[in-house]
Amino acid sequence: MRCIPSALIIAIIVDASVIAQPAAAQTTDRIFVSVDGVYQAGTKDFNDGASFPLYAETATFTTGYHVKPGPAFNIAGSGRVMRQLAVGIAVSRFSRETPIAVSASLPHPFFFNRARSLSADVTGMYREERAVHVQLRVLLPSQSPHFQAAVFGGPSFYTVTQDVLNQVGYTEAYPYDSVTATNGQSSNVSTSKVGFNAGADIAYFFTRQVGVGGTAQYAGTTIELDSAGGDKVDAKVGGFQVGGGLRLRF
């Protein structure tokens, strides 16, 4: 009979400690979803080039691709596996026009060593980056049930498609002392590569399930694209992203 009061006292102490905990520590939410519009900063320019036989000499051209910053879209979902640890997957997409600056040296049909120069800007070429980010998320302690913050990181699986100029386009007319740029031959190349991602997220919830938030992360890698000359050319993908959007938890 002496053990009954002791058990009762222990139960009261445990109940009191639970009541005294901040509301954020008692949450049972296990699923987290974010839908963000972000801005991908930084340029990822790269160069290419090739040579080909023309009029018993060698013609050459170089291309400079300009990948501008721009908007991107991210959607992420994660599940809590421990009190302050979650694992999840995010999907992102970035698409942007990549104008090309073209310079060429084209031999003359009548005279040796009298190459004609050509300079042009080619538009209508595009880059698309799609990525799946696997993330380990650490949920940071909060004294308010309205706020939730996390840091995350993990591998990123990129698939990139890029329009590549394979052959410079030009026209020429007698006396052939100059050339005029035209649309060249291009192809759409695709490649995949594993990179990494790391960042932070903070959210404010109006209700237990719905809120808004902001995110900042770096995700990227370097890929190899098929070159116009038949080799490979390195190009960076991804970059620093910052933005915000909808937050859900269940």
> If you search the block for the tokens 């997409």, which residue do you land on?
93
Q: Which fold does the domain 3-249 belong to in CATH?
A: Porin (2.40.160)
pLDDT at 17 over 60: no
Per DSSP, 176 falls in state -
Instruction: For residue 216, give Cα distances in angstroms to 38, 41, 148, 200.
Output: 9, 11, 15, 6
pTM of the entire predicted model: 0.83
User: pLDDT tens digits for 161-218?
Assistant: 999 999 999 999 999 999 999 989 999 999 999 999 999 999 999 999 999 999 999 9
What's the angle, vertex CA 223, arms to CA 232 and CA 229, rounded to 5?
15
Question: Can you tell me which residue has the tokens 């974010």?
Answer: 34
d(CA 239, CA 46): 15
Range list of β-strands (E), 126-178: 126-140, 147-172
Q: What is the mean pLDDT of the chain?
A: 89
Is the pLDDT assigned to residue 20 strictly greater than 70? no
- Asked if residue 11 has pLDDT above 50, the reply is no
Burial of 149 (0-12, 13-18, 19+ CB in 10 A): middle
List of residues 6+ apart from 108 with CB closer than 8 A: 55, 114, 115, 116, 176, 177
The band of 23, judged by pLDDT with boundaries at 50, 70 and 90, is very low
Phi, psi of 4 (to 5 degrees): -65, -50
Handedness of CA 224, 226, 231, 233 (dihedral sign): negative
Alpha helices (runs of H) in 25-124, residue ranges in sequence order: none
Sequence-ordered list of residues with C-beta below 8 angstroms from that of 97, at least 6 positions apart, any chain? 68, 123, 124, 125, 126, 127
How large a percentage of the chain has pLDDT more than 90? 82
- Cα distances from 75 to residues 57, 84, 116, in angstroms, run 53, 21, 51
* 89 pLDDT more than 80: yes
Q: Indicate the helix (H) or strand (E) that contains 7.
A: helix 3-20
pLDDT value of residue 28: 58
Domain limits, the chain: 3-249
What single-letter amino acid sits at 99? P
What are the structure tokens assigned to 244, written together?
Answer: 């915000």
d(CA 14, CA 32): 29
